[in-house]
Chain A
Amino acid sequence: MISRREVEHVARLARLHFDEEELARLQPELEQIIGYVEQLSELDLSGLETTSHAVAIKNALRPDEPWTGLTHEEAMANGPAVERGSFVVPRIG
């Protein structure tokens, strides 16, 4: 069961705002999704290690060598507001 409070909590964590109607619709939807995945718990998986990665590779490392990243202009090109070489963000908190 997904409670109304849980839906609101998850929405807040994701910084999503829903009105009453949307919240009412999301609750059964989320419940369905979770319920679908929950079928897995019907299986006995006790002997299996938790899968964290779908591909069986390990130690994909790179040497500690610098590369040329973006130029400052390129980096800032996507910033909606730029000041003193920095990205401007609205006041925090």
Chain B
Amino acid sequence: MTTGAETWEAVIGLEIHVQLSTRTKMFCGCELSFGDPPNTHVCPICLGHPGVLPVTNEKAIEYATRIALALDCHIAPRTIFHRKNYFYPDLPKAYQISQYDLPLGLAGHLDVEMEDGSMFRVGITRVHMEEDAGKLVHAGGIAGRIAGADYSLVDFNRGGTPLVEIVTEPDITTPDQARAFLTQLRSLVQQLGVSDVNMEEGSLRCDANVSVRHPGEPFGTKTELKNMNSFRFLHRGLEAEIERQIDTIEFGGRVVQETIHFDPATGKVSSLRSKEEAHDYRYFPEPDLPPVELDAEYVDKVRASLPELPAARKERLVDQHGLTGKEAALLAANKSLGDYFETLAGATGDARTSVNWVLGDLSAYLNVSGHEVADCPVQPAALAELLALLKDGTLSGKMAKEVFEAMCETRKPAADIVAEKGLGQISDTSALEAIVARVVEANPGPAEEFRQGRDKVLGFFVGQIMKETKGQANPGLVNELLRKHLQKG
């Protein structure tokens, strides 16, 4: 990035929180919920009452292990929980049970593909488990804002929800890369079936550590950027913060290590001006929770249960179906679309046509209609029927698109729509031959021109025949028959 005479480079590391989709909380049996009335899924443990004993959810351990393995992490043979001590009203115990120096997973990576097909690798520093805090609603003042609020309301339904925190190495250098990384991480976690990974609902959250420097120089002072609850906001927040840091330095100032808040409403970043002192969480081992020791057998079992991951699927789609890298990447990143394609390719036996339709008309329809693949009105078997009509020449490419649109609207089979609309291309040689003969006979002038060598005139005849047949003549056949008739003279 260049501003004025100076060249700048950003250094970005991300911290991602993933809410696990277990049935119950991390350390108690309260059910996870979203949108239920406040404080209806709570118990003495997640309310932090004195004298209670938390017990770790084995499913949460399994889910966290799945994530760590999918990111190629080393799984610690012995992992323990720590207390992270701080006061905040959404944290009833005044500590969060988290992990510190013995996290579940270490030293992994994710290979990320950019839109232009280039790849880059993001190191994963650690993957650890912790519990979520409760939810605050600020009352009075400007609606929903903490600043100027008169008081706050606390709902502990979310308190104790299992979280996995993923920390990356500072391997990201642009907002585009950050977005690509998070998009692919999201798709990976989604395919593992361990989280809803919905940024708007908060089951996927992302903070960023950002600094800028001149290329080749040591790292600059970093700030922690928070509150980016969509992919767009992540991108915009990073852009704004990088710009702010560069401006600060170029105008002779100094970047201070602090927490920066992104405001989605204005797109601006601002210092939280927290009065808190430098973080001093006084981590110490959680005495209520015995260590978790995962042996090789357990880890192998979890590894074996992982679904085919996007990177592997991409490779297989290229090898097995002859897709381009870009097509395969798109399908691998979206599990249900990838499944749709493979079912369709299986039914039609024609991977090329199938991928063109899935990434073309089908994707376009899904985008516009907002349907998920699962509730798409045209499922693979129905689309395969349509593609069969295209293949046997009953429909032209243009007609097939029209029928597809009608299928999406009416959910009727392709054959019914073809019959209703009187579509279907005339591929019957004898039927077409009569029309061709008639049109040639009716236009002796142009026919003579063609024989003189003016090939272009063919277009005129094709147009006439299409008009006669309301566009339903098979164009290939028309061309062939026309040449035959015109040359006969």
Contact = CB atoms under 8 A, between A and B. Distances in A.
B271 interface: no
B154 A89 contact: yes
A69 to B, nearest CB: 3
Contacts of A47: none
- Interface of B, helix, strand, loop or mixed by DSSP: loop
A86 B29 contact: no
Contacts of B275: 93
Interface string A39-77: 000000000000011110111111111110110100110
B263 interface: no
B280 interface: yes
A84 B155 CA distance: 10
Given A66-B23, A72-B39, 4 more contacts: A15-B87, A62-B57, A72-B37, A89-B152
7 contacts: A53-B290, A63-B58, A64-B22, A64-B23, A69-B29, A72-B39, A93-B274
Interface in B37-66: 37-44, 46-47, 55-61
Contact of B151 (A12, A52, A72, A90): A90
Interface stretch (B178-186, B281-289, B359-367): B281-289
Say whether chain A's binding surface is mostly helix, strand, loop, or mixed: loop
Given A67-B29, A76-B39, A61 B56 contact: yes
Contacts of A55: 290
A67 B30 contact: yes
Interface residues of B, number: 56
Interface in B215-248: none
A64 B484 CA distance: 75
Contacts of B58: 61-64
B29 A59 contact: no
A66 B60 CA distance: 13
A85 interface: yes
A62 B56 contact: yes
Nearest to B80: A52
A12 B56 contact: no
A33 interface: no
A2 interface: no
A65 B58 CA distance: 10
